[in-house]
Amino acid sequence: MPAAESRPLRVLSGSRVGPVDAGAVPRFAGPATFARLPRIDEVSDVDVAVMGVPFDSGVSYRPGARFGPAHVRESSRLLRPYNPALDVEPFGRLQVVDAGDLAVNPFFLDDAITAIERGAHGMLERADRLLTVGGDHTIALPVLRAMAHRHGPIAVVHFDAHLDTWDSYFGAAYTHGTPFRRAAEEGLLDGSGCLHVGTRGPLYSSKDLTDDVELGFQIVHSHEMDDIGVRGVIERIVERVRDRPVYVSVDIDVLDPAFAPGTGTPEAGGLTSRELLAILRSFAGLNLVGGDIVEVAPAYDHAEITGIAAAHAGYELLSAMAVIGRP
Ligand SMILES: N=C(N)NCCCC(=O)O
Ligand SMILES: [Zn+2]
Ligand SMILES: [Zn+2]
């Protein structure tokens, strides 16, 4: 191994600029980008952009997901270039960049939603695929608008303890509990290809479930993990999504609070991080066009447990995209 001073500071692979080399610059040094990837202004071509959306004005309970993007970046410093589970170097296959944070209005929610849609739209003109890091789940609606603009109505695999197809809260239509109802109403979703995974906990009434079906969703409940296992869940997803363009929305509260305490609306009885990562990894066979990781609220996190789970979820999604993009 050459002395640190003579080594390039980044892992390079052909024309791709990868993460800062942890053998040259200690991984705890320097400003955080996702997985220590280059900033978008440091490269010319972009395959996948990771973009922060620090916004939590749509929450119904604990606030704090506005600090999610910075926390997930900090918690992603230990990710390494090679993913043995998929036998892929995601950042060698694809040019992945950190596109920084969108600056959105924390006081006027309508303004914020417009800005997020515009920001996602602009990013998709530069990058083939977009992974956003929230932020509360409200942000999925404007991102889906940008995705549907590009791909047409889209299949959504939605990991969450919650349905997020509720109608309104205190008369407000745009909240973190309503993005997928609005998306269905706006015709953004392919109603024959959507499903929730990890749903659990008390609802407001049984009508929540009948409404949800009418909006085009199937459900793989959290407790079904015990009966059908990871393989069974993957089969259910693949059967539903098939070769449709698919958007993967990961609300970190899909994990049990033991694996993700740092979130705003925690529910007992969730997935393990191992289960979630295995399912995300399997998406290497799908037509994955984008995704989000939302609801990380660092004030309730300890030892970066939630941040690390979110960082690894992002890494598996990027790895799956890299396998799909393989020549
Ligand atoms: N999207 C998240 N995390 N939560 C939605 C919960 C809405 C509710 O409390 O009814
Ligand atoms: Zn949610
Ligand atoms: Zn949730």
CATH of residue 17? 3.40.800.10
Would you say 47 is a known binding-site residue?
Answer: no
Query: Nearest ligand to the C-alpha of residue 60?
Result: 1
What pLDDT shows up at residue 325?
61
The residue contributing the CA closest to ligand 1 atom 6 is 177
Sequential pLDDT tens for the chain (327 residues): 555 556 779 999 999 999 999 999 999 999 999 999 999 999 999 999 999 999 999 999 999 999 999 999 999 999 999 999 999 999 999 999 999 999 999 999 999 999 999 999 999 999 999 999 999 999 999 999 999 999 999 999 999 999 999 999 999 999 999 999 999 999 999 999 999 999 999 999 999 999 999 999 999 999 999 999 999 999 999 999 999 999 999 999 999 999 999 999 999 999 999 999 999 999 998 999 999 999 999 999 999 999 999 999 999 999 999 997 654
The ipTM assigned to this model is: 0.98
| pTM: predicted TM-score of the whole model, two decimal places | 0.97
The residue contributing the CA closest to ligand 1 atom 4 is 177
Query: Nearest ligand to the C-alpha of residue 61?
Result: 1
Based on the structure, what is the number of domains in the chain? 1
Per the structure, the complete domain to which residue 202 belongs is given by 4-324
What pLDDT shows up at residue 8?
77
Return the ligand 1 atom nearest residue 61 CA. 9
Query: Nearest ligand to the C-alpha of residue 264?
Result: 1
> Residue 176: CB within 6 Å of ligand 1?
yes
Structure tokens at 181: 């109802």
> Residue 56: CB within 6 Å of ligand 1?
no
> Residue 265: CB within 6 Å of ligand 1?
yes
> Residue 117: CB within 6 Å of ligand 1?
no
Would you say 253 is a known binding-site residue?
Answer: yes
Would you say 137 is a known binding-site residue?
Answer: yes
Would you say 56 is a known binding-site residue?
Answer: no
Distance CA 124, CA 128 (A): 6
